[in-house]
Structures are given as C-alpha cells and as structure tokens.
Amino acid sequence: MASSSASAERPSGGHALNLDWLPAFTVWTPDDWSAFGTNVTAFIAVAAGLVAWRQLREARKLREEQAQPYVVCYAEKTPGHDQSVDIVIRNFGTTVARDVELTVQPSLMRSGHAGREPEQVHLPAQIPALVPGQEWRTWWDLGTARVDFPDLPDRHDVLVTYQDSKGKPLPSTPSVLDWRDFSTREWLVTKGVHEIATALQEIRRTVKSFQNSGRGGMAVFVRDGDAADQRQREARATAKAKHEELTRQLLPGQEYSRAPGQSSEAEAVDPKPDVPS
C-alpha cells in the first residue's frame, strides 16, 4: 500500500518529519490567499515602523549631541615658547557651556619664579559661561625651571563638570595632565611672528640709542662713493705734485728720487711708440 508523503519521507536517522503544522497551500481558496497577503503586509509595515522609529531616535540623539557644549581641560605648549606649557579649558561644542567647574587631584603646582619656592597654579572656582571656541588659559610651568624641583607631582586627574544652555547637567569630561608628556618630547625651532617682534624690539632699542647724542639728535652722514673717490685721487695727485716741486726748489740740480715701484702720474700712462709713416 502507498502511504502519504509526510509519513513516507523519513530521514536517514529513522525519525519521521512532522509537517502537520504547515498549512495546506494547495487547497487554499482565493480568500485564504488574500487574508495571508494582508497579514504579511501588516507584519512588514510593523517591522518598517520599528526600524524607522529606531532611526529617528538615533538621529535625535545625534542632533542633541551635536547641539551641546563639550568642555575639556588639557595642557599644551605656550604659543611661541617650546619649553613652556599652558593649562587650557576650552569649549569644543557648538553651544554655550554654563557653570563650568574643575576638580584637579592633586593640586597643580609650578616651579615658581627665580629664587622662590614652588607655588600653586591658580584655577577658577567656576566659569559662568564658555561660548563655542572660547578658552581660558593660564601658564603651568617652564621646563628648564621645573627640573630643579623633582618632587613636584607630574600626573594630575581632572574632571570638568558643566551644564548646557538650558541649565541641564551634562556628563562630566575626565582628562589627565601629565608633565612627563612634555619633559621627554623633542622639537624643531621654527621662527615666526614672535621672533620677528623680538627682532623689531632690538632694532627699536638700537635706533633709540642713536638719539642719545650731545646735540639731542641723530647725526646722519651721506657719502657719494664715486665722487668721493675721485676727489681723493685728485687731492693726492695735487699734493704729490707740490711735494716734487718743493723738492726741486730745495735741492736744485738733483733728480727727485722715488721709492722702488713708485711712479708719477705722468709715468703711470704708457705713451704709444712712434710708428713710422
């Protein structure tokens, strides 16, 4: 006897496949197919709605993050001074940050001025507002001076707390200030506007010193090189001619003797030999 296809098909393991849960598509009427299509369409619509809702939520979160302040405390070299380091508090966000406060552990210390003990770096207790791109900056220390105080702490943990423009507290921004990051670095000296300003100051001091003369002004000497050289040659020739004339008057009958290699102005010009016609 022939058996049904569901009971006849057996896997190699000897267990029959139970396909009773499958609908009998072959006996479906047009109304059954219509209801099935409606259910599938509804399922796809629900799935598409869930995906769209999730995308909208992510887009809204992204817009909120892009439209909020982002305040960070960090250290960088002083502009124009490669061995000096500044502490900077900057708002990298796109909106204003309010009530910015810092917590630093341990306290920031600098080597201090020459002949003084190390001193604490002053930081503001609170910054009422930081607009986008605005920063607060102070000097931390100088590398050539800090080496004389090896007991000063190098690593400092910083936590910045602030609010958005509507007064909503935002997640704090942690950072680390480590002097060792600057003590071991190397750099190339590049001259720029700062060096130009320094050179102009030197020129200014030099020019100012010219005015300290007895007459209360600055004496300026103008020289025309070619004309002055010609006048000097003429003056030397005139003086030499007068000296020769005086020698002939004082020592008549004697030829004027010249030093070896010395010649008169007339002898300096080599006359042309006579050419027979």
Answer whether residue 233 is part of any domain: no
- 215 falls within a domain: no
**48 and 78 together in one domain:** no
Most confident region among 44-48, 89-93, 140-144, 243-247 by mean pLDDT:
89-93
Confirm whether 191 is domain-assigned: no
In this predicted structure, the answer to whether residue 180 has a pLDDT above a threshold of 50 is yes
Cβ atoms of 87 and 138 closer than 8 Å: yes
Picking from 31, 2, 160, the residue whose alpha carbon sits closest to that of residue 92 is 160
Mark whether 81 and 152 lie in a shared domain.
Answer: yes
pLDDT of residue 63: 72
Whether 242 shows a pLDDT value over 60: the answer reads: yes
Mean pLDDT for all residues in the chain: 80
Among residues 120, 150, 183, the one where a domain terminates is 183
Judge whether 195 lies within some domain: no
Last residue of a domain, one of 125, 148, 183: 183
Q: Is 82 exposed, middle or buried (0-12, 13-18, 19+ CB in 10 A)?
A: middle
Into how many domains does the chain fold?
A: 2
| 104-139: pLDDT as tens digits | 999 999 997 777 789 999 999 999 999 999 999 999
Nearest to 88 by CA among 113, 126, 128, 123: 123
What is the distance between the alpha carbons of residues 227 and 97, in angstroms, rounded to a whole number?
73
pLDDT band, residue 229 (cuts 50/70/90)? confident
Q: Residue 42 belongs to what domain range?
A: 25-58
Whole-model pTM: value is 0.53
Residue 4 maps to a domain: no
Residue 212's pLDDT is: 57
pLDDT the model gives residue 136: 97
Q: 106 and 144 in one domain?
A: yes
Instruction: Let me know whether 147 and 92 are in one domain.
Output: yes
Give per-residue pLDDT as tens, 67-108: 799 999 999 999 878 889 999 999 999 999 999 999 999 999
Check whether residue 33 and residue 125 sit in a common domain.
Answer: no
Q: Which pLDDT score is estimated for 193?
A: 84
